[in-house]
Amino acid sequence: MNSTTTRISTNYMLQSTDGKSTWISEDAVKHCQNVRRAIETTRQTAIQVNAADAELKQIVRFCEHYKDGYTLYQPLTQWDQQFFCMEDSEMMDLLMAATELFVAPIMNICFQTLKNKTRQMTLEEKLKACGLCYSILSKDGQMFELTENAAKLSGFISSYKSTNGIYLNNKANPILLDVMAAPLSIILKWCEQHKMEKSVVMTAWDKELLTMGMPELTQVLCAANALDIKGGLVNMVIEMMGQAVCG
């Protein structure tokens, strides 16, 4: 009579930094090198990891899908393409979490994807993709992002950050402005354009940005005054208003 041996697989509970738990199988956890070392060291089945629940769940899903082994294909398989189809900021969060757990396949793909994208990015886009910016919420609920040097052109935003202890990558606690999205988007574009200039002179770019009707120019003027925008935006708007009246 033949006998067979059944291997009993152990499941491990991973506890995220935001107090939630996710289970991962013994075969899948092999991809998480730091978790595996913690298991071998502590002999515990519940492991605290330095990753938020959202990213942790994604990592576990990847590891479970490839629990029998992973091979990196170029181009990526359809499953991988769908898994890694996300915003740059989300991929950066996933990369940071995967680095904490040391999940090499996810780290490699995220790093290469972001590297390829940033080759075509402006410095402003790179900073925003890495979370090196401030999140700003308009009066009508639209979210904007503003890089650090551009934020310095607003006396109100600078004061708000200092008073309320706001730091970069503040998506969870955005800067709340009593300004509607339409004029705010114009002002923030202007700030990004002129953030590194000591002396600002109106150019064709500014004229194109501020080519709009008198009601819209009035909204931008009021918002720029409310936000205490430095560098000459108010004067430019007034000049464009004068041209609109004369024209």
Domains of the chain, first to last: 11-118 (3.30.710.10), 133-246 (3.30.710.10)
Instruction: Give pLDDT tens digits along the chain (247 positions).
Output: 444 444 456 899 999 999 999 999 999 999 999 999 999 999 888 999 999 999 999 999 999 999 999 888 878 899 999 999 998 888 889 998 999 999 999 998 988 888 777 666 665 666 565 556 889 999 999 999 998 889 999 999 999 998 988 888 788 889 999 999 999 999 999 999 998 877 788 999 999 999 999 999 999 999 999 999 988 999 999 999 988 777 5
Residues 6+ apart with CB under 8 A from 33: 101, 102, 103, 104
Q: Which secondary structure element, helix H or strand E, spans residue 135, and what is its range?
A: strand 133-137
Closest CA to 184 of 229, 147, 149: 229
End-to-end CA distance of the chain: 101
Give the separation between CA 22 and CA 128, rounded to whole angstroms. 30
Angle at 203 between CA 119 and CA 246, to 5 degrees: 145
DSSP 6-35: PPPPPEEEEE-TTS-EEEEETTGGGGBHHH
pTM of the model: 0.52
The span from the CA of 186 to the CA of 115, in Å, is 30
**Contact 115/121 with Cβ under 8 angstroms?**
no
Give, as one character, the DSSP assignment of residue 110: H
3-state DSSP assignment of residue 223? helix
